[in-house]
Amino acid sequence: MKLITYIAGCTFGDRPSEVKKLKKGDILELIPEPTNAYDPFAVKVANIGYLKKEIAKEISPLILAGQKHYAIVVDLNAMGGVRVVISDIESNIYGV
């Protein structure tokens, strides 16, 4: 199963300044937000945005159950987009 995705919301507020600090290979914390008013499966990616809904719906319950997951930056584009691969500690990488 490949879980490679762009992070949503990287261009809002002060997030672009945080995105500029990133480089390929950076490991970013995934933080579930079960009390998020818009989506109880929301997963924040460090301070730069959120996982897309369809991926967050899969990952959030796993993290809340105690599995350690993180995002690894694989690409940064000129428009402020950040592409990551979702990884867990046990299997290391879902897909690249």
Domain residue spans of the chain: 4-88
Per the DSSP assignment, residues forming a β-bridge with 32 are 43
| 64/77 Cα distance (integer angstroms) | 31
* pLDDT tens column, 9-66: 998 888 989 999 999 999 999 999 999 999 999 999 998 999 999 999 999 999 999 9
Number of C-beta neighbours around residue 92 at 10 A: 7
CA 21, distance to chain mean position in Å, is: 16
Which has the closest alpha carbon to 87: 29, 11, 6? 29
Per the DSSP assignment, residues forming a β-bridge with 69 are 88
Domain 4-88: top CATH class: alpha beta
Phi–psi pair at 7, nearest 5 degrees: -85, 135
Q: What is the pLDDT of residue 95?
A: 45
